[in-house]
Structure 1
Amino acid sequence: MCSLPRASKLCARCNKPATGGSYCNTHRPKPFAGARERWKANRPGNWETLRLRVIRRAGGLCEVKDCTEPGAEVDHINPVAEQGRWGLDNLQLLCKTHNQAKAQEEARRGRERTRKLRNTR
């Protein structure tokens, strides 16, 4: 039996050879492209009012116990990806350090959820 070489996959946009996936290097989507725009589209219309109320409530300081750093980010206590709501009671003001640590932990949980979903298919 003679096996013929497999034809290379072509880019979905320009028909040049694809270098992994469906696109060539020129047309490959960037990771997280459009994530900020999707987040903005999903936030409520009164987001700026909620944000200012959280900052005022916290007095401009990080709301983590014993932290005296200025708050930099309004963050969901229970993330939207984990069925958190956009209400005032689910928002907190965090300094950059605490926000980054929380974001890393949430990303780890997200990777675990994705891994579990893949394993159940």
Structure 2
Amino acid sequence: MGSPLPSLACLDCGKLSQGSRCPACATARRRSKERQRAAHRPSPYQRGYNAEYRRNRAIVLADGPCCFVEGCTAAATTVDHILPLSLGGTNELDNLRPACRRHNASRANRLDWEA
């Protein structure tokens, strides 16, 4: 087997670690970046997820309990905007389709879903 990784001084606290930061400092740094990112993100309402969206989401999920992706057997727990809100889409029923969390998150704001 190979030799163990050399110990390095953490860039933040100076403790010896296997990477550039010790686990505690790495976790603190990640959480700090997540807080900064969240502070700059508009609220769901400001991004277009209003009462109309919530009402139509319930209708779509009741009508289509399965994910829209062919071959996916996961239950639809979210709705996907066919034309994303960020690209001018709406919360109307004809622009929403049922999706599992995995496929909805992986599609992001692209126009067509790609595997």
Q: TM-score category by the smaller chain?
A: 0.5 to 0.7
2:83 maps to: 78
Matched, 1:54 2:81: no
What RMSD over aligned residues (CA atoms) do the two structures have, in Å?
2.4
Measure how far apart 1:66 and its partner are.
Answer: 2.2
2:54 counterpart SS class: helix
Code of the aligned partner of 1:82: L
Measure how far apart 1:85 and its partner are.
Answer: 1.2
Q: Which residues of structure 1 form unaligned runs of 5+?
A: 1-28, 108-121
- Structure 1 vs Structure 2: percent identity of aligned residues? 28
Measure how far apart 1:33 and its partner are.
Answer: 2.0
Residues 27-42 of structure 1 correspond to what in structure 2 (within 5 A)? 30-33=36-39, 35=41, 37=43, 39-41=44-46, 42=48
How does the TM-score come out when normalised to structure 1? Answer: 0.52
Code of the aligned partner of 1:31: R
CA offset digits 1:53-77 (Å, max 9, x no partner): 110121x211112221111211211
Measure how far apart 1:86 and its partner are.
Answer: 1.2
Greater shift, 68-77 or 44-53, is seen at: 44-53
2:37 counterpart SS class: coil
Query: Which one has more relative contact order, counting CA pairs under 8 Å at least 6 apart?
Result: 2
Measure how far apart 1:79 and its partner are.
Answer: 0.4
Does structure 1 conserve the Cα–Cα contact (< 8 Å) formed by 2:80 and 2:97? yes
1:93 counterpart SS class: strand
In structure 2, relative to structure 1, the CA distance for the partners of 1:43 and 1:80 (3 Å cut) is same
Code of the aligned partner of 1:43: Y
Q: Deviation above 6 Å: which 4+ runs of structure 1? A: none
In structure 2, relative to structure 1, the CA distance for the partners of 1:36 and 1:70 (3 Å cut) is farther
Count of residues in correspondence between the two structures: 76
Partners in 2 of 1:45 and 1:72 — Cα distance? 18
